[in-house]
Structure formats: structure tokens, C-alpha cells
Structure 1
């Protein structure tokens, strides 16, 4: 447990990792509480009709034990990969805990994936079983001839000729099944990278990844848990952010977690969830916060009463952060990390360790540096690549069966992120962008995040993405793709106004020379903008112009 400290400096000075030799996620998020407080509520489920449900730790322990026994009867054993193709639900949590009990490896997958994306991940992971619902079964049916490795398919919507029934598998002997003996380094979880810069890779984590997340999540939520705390995130639990920044740490701390089924974020529904489910702690990715900004007076209309709010996935930006603190009543504490090494930088305004526009400082237990191209740490005010020193309990064990890619991720003991940032004299780290996203224009190196933040501060803009478009004179020009707020029209006059807005707020070399108004932006299932697709779109525009 991370204890409150008088300052960030005191917390960092006194922190020591204490991870037991025997460590299993199933025990930490379930059995620890089920054995001493079986009637304690662990999960709440939001129903749009108001008939909300809840689950207790004792029930979670019994159902996950029964499901684990049923999986074992189907041949699933320690080290086997079990895919989870499910929305937020009680069944998803039961399945996760059951997999960890067996010492198997959970492979969470987003229901939004199409058949080809699923086929690729199932093939790479070598999944032996998959737990899904009716929607997932339909997608799996399209690749049935390519799923030979799957020995077991389970449906939470009932059994059919293609799948065993989840409920039936939970009706077996429900006495507590003690988790198999595992250590912090025993593989437990495989999360695929988002694929923004290439083919997705399976990042393998040990059981200790949960222990590694605990202090950072506690800190960015102002020393979670406090009386009355209750956690919710709209983020998919198949994403490292939803799973490791919210669900699993909250369960381990005895904080009830709110689940909601919706696959597509809706701002009005999100406000209902925050109010009706009495959410006190929320993890809202930047995209979700920007969409919430379209709701007028959310606290007054929905009686939202948050104690803490955190965000991660992309740079938040000062405009969104300012709106959120004013409209939602709490500061936004940012988190930074990657699928391979999550939650290593963050802020906590309640402890005086936050600076607007900055992601924050290294979180307790993590050693972070900004390195130059030679792997040497750079000084304050100098651009460098964010790197994390190993060993670190949140650091991945490696890419699944890809030793070459794993080796390329490191420079000595430093894990390289590919993300560039600047640190000030007090150590606050400000994200600039991925190396692939940096725009080279007229000799200037320009990060897209600051321009996107500036555009989203304009009254007409809901979302913005910025890329470099090849240009024979300037090497590249800044091109912006903009999603407007409801009621706004994408006219040449508005485009000129947006360019002038950036030029006035930032600088003459950063303003977008071209602006395209679009209905939506290409995003990963985790809400990250896929700038690679936008760069390809910009290149095709040039080809089309040349052809004409």
C-alpha cells in the first residue's frame, strides 16, 4: 500500500518495492478479500433502464473457481493462452480470475476487432481457448477454418453447437480453488500493442505487473482507497489502460468497480453512469474527455461528484484539462506508459505534484530518463526519447515469440519507448510525440500534440489530428484533420480562422497550411489516433493531384 506523503520528494525517497516471492493476480484481486470479507461488493453493473446489479467477492471467488475447473477439464493448463473477446461484464472478470487461478495466460481482445484482426491475434498468441459472446461468435464463424489451435470456445450468451455455455461451466463444484503457485515473473497476461506504428505485437507480462501498477494508480488517484471510493472507466478492459489503470488495481484495493456494456462512447450516457452509479474515481482517456466537453453543465445536470480523475493514452492538452477541472470539479491527473511498460510517469495535483501541460514526474518505483540517439541522458529543456530502466515490475517479459523485436526495444538496461519529450529543471516531463509523428517543415521539427491541443481549444473543434504532408519546398507542411462540434460548418472561412488561431497561439512555423474537415478520425480500439493512416491519406492526395 502506498501511504500518503508530505511531498512527492518524500514519497520517492521512502518508496521500496515489496513484492512477495509467491504472487498470483487471482489471489490479489479476489481471494484476498473473499477469504476475509466475502460479502464485500466488488462489482456494480450499469443498466440503461436503471436496474443496476452488483457482485460480491465471495461470489467472484466461487464462480471463478468453478469456471477454472471447467477450463481445466477442457484441457487448459498452466501456460496456455485463453483469449477473452468480451465487453465490460461480470463474466469478463470471472474469466480473468479463473485464467490466473490456473496459471494460464489471459489474452484480452477488443470486440470491435474485425475477423481478420482477430484471426491475426489468435494465430500469433496460439490461443487454446476463447471466451466470448454472440457478437464474438459471429466474427469467429468467419474464420472458423483458420482456428484449428482452439480446443475450446465458450459463450456467455448460452451454448450452441460451436461453443460451451459459460453458465454451465460455472455450475461445477464452487468451492474455492487455490491459485496454482506462481511468481511475479510467471507469465499471466498478453496484451497486443495498438499497431499505430506497425503490426501489433503480443506484449507478455508476468503476474507482478499488477504489483507494479499499484503505487502509481494509488498515487494518481490521490492515495486510493479512501472511504466511499468507486471506480469506473469507459476504456475497454482489453486495453492496458482499462485493465491495469482501473479494473485490476481497484479490485485488489477493495474498491468497487462499475462496469458498462456500451462499446461506443456516448457522452450523455457517461454522465448518467458517473451520477447514478455514484462514481468517485474515474479513468477517462483524452478522447472521452473531449467528447464529454460537448455536454453542457454536466455536474449541474447529472449531479456528478468525483473525488479523483485520471487520464492516459494520448497527451491531454491544457484546453481539455482546464475544461475538465472546471466542468467536472476535479483536476485531471495524467498517466504515461505503453503496453510494454505502463504507468511510469504521472501527476497528482492533490499532492502538489502536477503542472498544467506536463504529463508529470516519474511515479514511485520507476526510473525514467530522456535519452539522445546515442543512449545518453539529455539535460533539461532538451528533446530526448523516453526510456525506463529495467528491471521494473510493470515492464513486459518480452514480445511473444519475437526475440528480435524484444531486443530492439532495449538499449542496455533502458527500455526505449519511441516517444519524445522534454523535461524542465524540476523534472516535469512534457510529451512531444512519437518519432514517427514528428513533422519536419522548413528545417523545424514539429510535434503534433501541441498543435492538436491548440486546435481543440477553438470553439468549433471537437477533435483534431495533425500530420506532415510531403511538400517539395518545405519537406513537409502541417496538415490538420478536424472533426467539428455539432452545428458547426466546415467552410473555407473557418479553415482560415483555425490556421490563424494556431499561428497566433503557437508560432508561424506550426500553423496548419491545410485543413480538412472530416466526420471522424481513424482510431485504435483504445482511442489513439492512427496518424499513420492520415499520413497515407495525405500522400494519396498528392498522387491524385499529380494524376489529374
Structure 2
């Protein structure tokens, strides 16, 4: 079916009236200083992310309003009001104080979407403790790597995850002083070398005053994978809460009466910024489903929980599309008024599917771990160009640039003013949630900037109407189901298999999850490239990395293409896999 290139909005698409309907006027009037005035702040001018998300609501008109609603298949729903959440997070902050953990110390959380995770994140922030969420599907090696890189002192996890993924490597994490366990059966734990969180919480006071953090004090440490070396730790500050608030208003149009559902796992930056913090800042009720994706269940939750604003991922949308419109037709969701998506580019077909099946188009948006918040978005009041990631939000100045110097030189770029010309997407520095550094890697951080321009590493173009269009990535990072996967980390684990001599990893386009990890390996002498060995290598990778990160496909090659300096040419592997032009092979080992 032929479709229009633009989805035009009407008044019926906008209920309640969106916060902004004058794009240029709102951008001209906006300032980050004014945006901060919407928050309360601490006495003496401080700013604390946990206080703004919870405490400023806990004694006011929203004190009995539901903040978090947890649902699961085999358990009754659990509702936490803003006042109850304040008491629980106060208890957790006091637990940390009792352990000698304070401002600037680092806490890691490794768990599914359980109440204790949310209480730990918010309580730690109130305590001034830096929080790092970990994806619960990670294998033991990625977990240990990140805790060691971040010098994590406290880990909050479940007894089951600890036994499966942490205990075996505990002695290899020397900074880890305290492990606080949540019993998955609802009881208590007595695992040697750990503490039972439920017992600590019962014995802690529910009175606590947020630590006097300043806007530039560290709050969150999010790890994001690079193409080489170890994962990069992007550091964010308490002042980022201003961006979380502003983007919750402009990009997600959150109103206090909304019932909101962000499906992102808290181990992903979206699940922290927009699954925990932003909705609480706006006083909304957030639904948190503890189960994995199930199309029938998701449609039922949208209907039964009267969800009004839904923030999800392209992978989930494609899975719903695959389940068929007939399943959707069995449900009604009159409360649903806005659907947004992030994680990877959303193809036009999915945007139109939302319009035709859900009754609402899907609003794509763009941001990165490094930006800390949504930068470019399709928003409620404005027309959508399906396939576009939208236009910059108030306070965000975006542009397209081209590089003028050869690779390896300090970045120097020139603005591209002509519409529809591809280049690198860049953002003018100054928004509050901009990352303040890569942990222990100042040189890598400096390379991200040319003057006051942050170079995103994403290739894009801007059309004549100011809409931005994603083209591709300038590096080899693999994005699968919204998760960023560094090839080097996967290659390193593959190389540990006794049969593997060398390994190269690429992202292979996949209609469901965006990209799947495909590995190319060459074998050591004495090993035959048969199916049994392929399955054994895949099992090894899944055990060490977890199913989300491990390769979905493995191909055997006699040798891998390398540069003369010994670097595996992933670009060449990908070009050959996809039948694309191989480009310059002058640096290839042995010549072209």
C-alpha cells in the first residue's frame, strides 16, 4: 500500500494539549537555567537527582499518588506511592551509610525489574553514591570487567544471579567490599561473604536527608562499548536531572495524570533515564513489568493498566508486527495517547504500522549514552516524516559536519549547510546531561570534541525542513535489540576457546533486532571446522558473555583480513558478508 511521506497531526491526535505547539518560538524562549527552576533544588543551591525524583513529591500533593506499579505473572501487583518510595529509599541510603559508603563511592546494580533495584538506584543517588546499572543478561566476564573498571565497592543483586554470575569471579574483583543480596523467593539469604538486603532494610531508619550534592557532582556511570579495547564508562552528573525533566516534558509529553510504561531494561541507559528518573520527576505512575516480552501480555497490559504514554524499542515493535494485527485487534486501549521509540532507527513501515494498528504513529527519537538524554525527537504536536528521527529539542543545537583532516589528526570539522548531504551528526555543548568524561580515558574523551562541538560518531543528514535522518555509524559498534555491543569484547572471549586462533566480529543486519552478532574465526592447527565445534564455540561464548552479547552466527575462515599493523579489518569482513564494495585495501596485510 502506497503511503504518504508525512503523517500530519490533527487536534484529535493531541490529548491533552501538548506542552509545546510552536517549535521555533519555544526553542527561542528556552534556556537551561529556566528549566532548572522547575525543580526544587537543595538548600544552599545543591541539586540531587534522587531528591528531585522522589522527595520533593513525598510530602506534597502527590504523596499518596502511585509512583511505581510492579506487575508479574505469578505475583500480585505491588504499588509504591511517592511517600512509600521516599521511606524505602531513605532506608537504603541509611544502609549505605551504615556500611561506610558515601558520596562519590560506586554502587553497581545487577537485577531484573524488581522493586529493590529501583529503591537501590534512587537511595544511592540520594546518598551521593554513584550508580552503575548492569544488564542482568550479561555473563560473568562482562560483569566482572565493568565492576573492575568502575572500582565498584557495592553490588546489589539477587541470590540467584550472584551464584550464577558473580560468585565464581568474586576474588577477581578486589574493589568489591559489599554484596547485598535480594532473595528471589522473598525470604532471606545467608550466602557466605554477602549481606541480606531485607534484613539490613528492616533495621534501617526511614528518615534521611539527601546528601548535599552539587550539579557537577558525579551521579551515574554508564558503560558503553567501543570498537577496540575495554568498555567505556560515560560519567554523568546530578545536573543531568534538568535534561531528564525537560525531555520528559518536550519529547515524551509527560503529564502528572499519565500512566507511563518504559519497556527498557534498567541495565540500559534508557531504562535508567526514562524508566526510573524522568517519569518520577513529572509525578507520573510508572508501570514496571517483571516479565520478558510476550505480545499477548503486552497488549493486555496496555489495555488493563490504562497506559497513556508508552516508550519502547524498535525490536519490540517489530516483534509485535510479526505477531500480526489480528492479535492487536483483540484489545482496546482508549487511554493510549502517545507512543515513542528509541534504540536504533525506526523504519517507516513500523511508524505506519503504529498508525494503522495501534491508532497512533510511533514517534522515533535519537540520543546516546554519552548525551544522557533525548536530543532529537518526533514530538506530539508536530508532523512526522516516517523514517526520520525528528528535530532537535529545545536547548539542543544539532548540525551536520565533515572532517577536514586525515584520520589520527586532532579533529577539525566544517559545517555542512546544504540539506540532504550526509556527514557526521554533531551537537553544540552545554546541555546538562552531556557526559563529563570517559572513566580513566581523558584522551578518548577529548577526541569526541572539536571546540564546543560534540562529535557523535553517527552519520546523518538534515532535510530542508530541519528533520534529521540517520544514515549509519562511523565505527564498528554493533547495536542489537537496543544494546550496544563492542566487537573487541566478544572477540576476546572467542579467543579464549582452545580451538580459536583469531576472531573478528561484525554486526549483520537483521529485520527483527536491527543487527545480530556474527563472528568469523580461524582455527588452530589440529581442529576441524565442523558443526560440533561451531556449537561448542557458541556455547562457550554464551556462557561467558550471556545470550544478548554472544554471537548468533559463527563462520570459519582459513585466515582473517588484517592490516599491516595486525588490526583485524572488520570493515572488510562486513563488506564481503553483505556483498558491498570493499573500498581501500591498501593497508591490508600482504597488499590488496
Shorter-chain TM-score range: 0.7 to 0.9
- Residue of 298, 304, 313 corresponding to 2:343: 313
- 1:175 deviation in Å? 3.4
- Secondary structure in structure 1 of the residue aligned to 2:375: strand
Supply the distance in 2 between the matched residues of 1:484 and 1:321 (Cα, whole angstroms).
15
- 1:28 deviation in Å? 0.9
Supply the distance in 1 between the matched residues of 2:553 and 2:100 (Cα, whole angstroms).
39
* Matches for 1:394-413 after TM superposition, within 5 Å: 394-413=433-452
Supply the distance in 2 between the matched residues of 1:529 and 1:363 (Cα, whole angstroms).
37
Q: Does structure 1 residue 292 correspond to structure 2 residue 331?
A: no
Distance 1:293 1:164, change over 3 A: same
Q: Which residue of 2 aligns with 1:491?
A: none
* Matches for 1:435-450 after TM superposition, within 5 Å: 435-436=474-475
Give the TM-score of the pair, scaled to structure 1. Answer: 0.79
Q: Which residue of 2 aligns with 1:30?
A: 54
Q: Which residue of 1 aligns with 2:270?
A: 241
Mark the runs of 5 or more structure 1 residues left unpaired by the alignment. 439-447, 453-477, 486-520, 543-548
- 1:411 deviation in Å? 1.2
* Matches for 1:367-382 after TM superposition, within 5 Å: 367-374=397-404, 375-379=413-417, 380-382=419-421
- 1:530 deviation in Å? 12
- 1:145 deviation in Å? 1.6
Q: Which residue of 1 aligns with 2:285?
A: 256
Q: Which residue of 2 aligns with 1:462?
A: none
Distance 1:71 1:332, change over 3 A: same
Supply the distance in 1 between the matched residues of 2:95 and 2:141 (Cα, whole angstroms).
29
Given that residues 108 and 133 in structure 2 are in contact (C-alpha distance below 8 angstroms), is that contact kept between their aligned partners in structure 1?
yes
Q: After alignment, is 528-537 or 327-336 more displaced?
A: 528-537
Supply the distance in 2 between the matched residues of 1:292 and 1:198 (Cα, whole angstroms).
36
Q: After alignment, is 16-25 or 189-198 more displaced?
A: 189-198
- Secondary structure in structure 2 of the residue aligned to 1:179: coil
Given that residues 68 and 99 in structure 1 are in contact (C-alpha distance below 8 angstroms), is that contact kept between their aligned partners in structure 2?
yes
- Secondary structure in structure 2 of the residue aligned to 1:4: coil
- Secondary structure in structure 2 of the residue aligned to 1:122: helix
Supply the distance in 2 between the matched residues of 1:30 and 1:170 (Cα, whole angstroms).
18
Q: Does structure 1 residue 123 correspond to structure 2 residue 148?
A: yes
Q: After alignment, is 73-82 or 171-180 more displaced?
A: 171-180
- 1:407 deviation in Å? 0.9
Distance 1:528 1:240, change over 3 A: farther
Q: Map Cα deviations across residues 129-185 of structure 1 (whole Å, 9 max, x no partner).
A: 000012320211120220221111001113322321121121134333111111221
Mark the runs of 5 or more structure 2 residues left unpaired by the alignment. 1-16, 405-412, 481-505, 514-541, 555-568, 580-592
RMSD of the alignment, in Å? 3.2
Supply the distance in 2 between the matched residues of 1:479 and 1:248 (Cα, whole angstroms).
31
Given that residues 378 and 384 in structure 2 are in contact (C-alpha distance below 8 angstroms), is that contact kept between their aligned partners in structure 1?
yes
Given that residues 109 and 132 in structure 2 are in contact (C-alpha distance below 8 angstroms), is that contact kept between their aligned partners in structure 1?
yes
Given that residues 45 and 52 in structure 1 are in contact (C-alpha distance below 8 angstroms), is that contact kept between their aligned partners in structure 2?
yes
Q: Which residue of 2 aligns with 1:278?
A: 306
Supply the distance in 2 between the matched residues of 1:484 and 1:525 (Cα, whole angstroms).
14
- 1:538 deviation in Å? 7.5
Distance 1:246 1:541, change over 3 A: closer
Given that residues 236 and 526 in structure 1 are in contact (C-alpha distance below 8 angstroms), is that contact kept between their aligned partners in structure 2?
no
- Secondary structure in structure 2 of the residue aligned to 1:343: coil
Q: Which residue of 2 aligns with 1:388?
A: 427
Give the TM-score of the pair, scaled to structure 2. Answer: 0.73
- Secondary structure in structure 1 of the residue aligned to 2:458: strand
- 1:353 deviation in Å? 4.5
- 1:484 deviation in Å? 8.2
Distance 1:250 1:279, change over 3 A: same
- 1:295 deviation in Å? 2.5
* Matches for 1:94-493 after TM superposition, within 5 Å: 94-138=119-163, 139-157=165-183, 158-160=188-190, 161-195=192-226, 199-221=230-252, 223-225=253-255, 227=257, 229-262=258-291, 264-297=292-325, 298-305=327-334, 306-341=336-371, 342-348=373-379, 350-374=380-404, 375-379=413-417, 380-436=419-475, 482=510
Supply the distance in 1 between the matched residues of 2:577 and 2:391 (Cα, whole angstroms).
40
